[in-house]
């Protein structure tokens, strides 16, 4: 068992962004952040600049039989952290990522297995981040998340993710 305050070993960087094995990343993620193994994450894939997750509702039920808001908020925060971490890994950068701010808006109950999407908040967000990383070695990235059951959007979220130099 890992001690509190002890970082989990980093996953080696892929040779290229296209070489990232998302199954291996998901396995590592479940070890590095134990909560992930209990969130019902079935699969993650990329579609252009959007990270997609397929999730099971069963482990995220509330007392009413629909999605528990706390689980859904954790998932929106986590997918943003993953988007940022995977993007950095694809750039050959091993840096710390932390959530700086997060906000969710619940639109409809989650009543079945669902899809969670994450992408940059604006078309130029990644370019701005690249410039800040080149200049200062750190920066922030605004991302948006959308959770849907079928064609129904149930939750919209946004978050700012801070990219920091590695701590020794």
| Predicted pLDDT at 167 | 75
Query: Comparing C-alpha atoms, which of 85, 80, 118 is closest to residue 14?
Result: 85
Spatial CB neighbours of 148, under 8 Å, sequence gap ≥ 6: 114, 115, 116, 117, 154
Domain segments of the chain as ranges: 22-164
Model confidence at 168, pLDDT cuts 50, 70, 90, reads low
Indicate if the alpha-carbon torsion angle 26, 30, 35, 40 is positive or negative. Answer: positive
Give the CATH number of domain 22-164: 3.10.129.10
Could you read off the pLDDT of 19-62 as tens digits, one per residue? 899 999 999 999 999 999 999 999 999 999 999 999 999 999 99
Could you read off the pLDDT of 116-166 as tens digits, one per residue? 999 999 999 999 999 999 999 999 999 999 999 999 999 999 999 999 988
Interior/surface letters 31-49, b for 16+ CB within 10 angstroms, e for the rest? eeeeebeebbbeebeeeee
Q: Helices (H) and strands (E) in the chain — how many of each?
A: 3, 6
């Amino acid at each position: 068992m890992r001690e509190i305050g002890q970082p989990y070993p980093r996953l080696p960087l892929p040779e290229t962004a296209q070489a990232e094995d998302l199954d291996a990343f998901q396995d590592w993620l479940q070890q590095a952040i134990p909560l992930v193994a209990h969130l019902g994450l079935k699969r993650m894939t990329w579609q252009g600049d959007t990270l997609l997750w397929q999730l099971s509702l069963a482990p995220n039920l509330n007392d009413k039989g629909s999605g528990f808001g706390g689980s859904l908020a954790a998932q929106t925060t986590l997918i943003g952290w993953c988007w940022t971490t995977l993007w950095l890994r694809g750039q050959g950068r091993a840096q710390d990522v932390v959530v700086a701010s997060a906000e969710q808006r619940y639109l409809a109950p989650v009543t079945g297995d669902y899809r969670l999407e994450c992408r940059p908040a604006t078309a130029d967000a990644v370019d701005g981040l690249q410039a800040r990383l080149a200049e200062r070695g750190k920066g922030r990235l605004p991302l948006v998340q959308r959770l849907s059951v079928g064609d129904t959007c149930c939750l919209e979220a946004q978050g700012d993710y801070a990219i920091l130099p590695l701590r020794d």
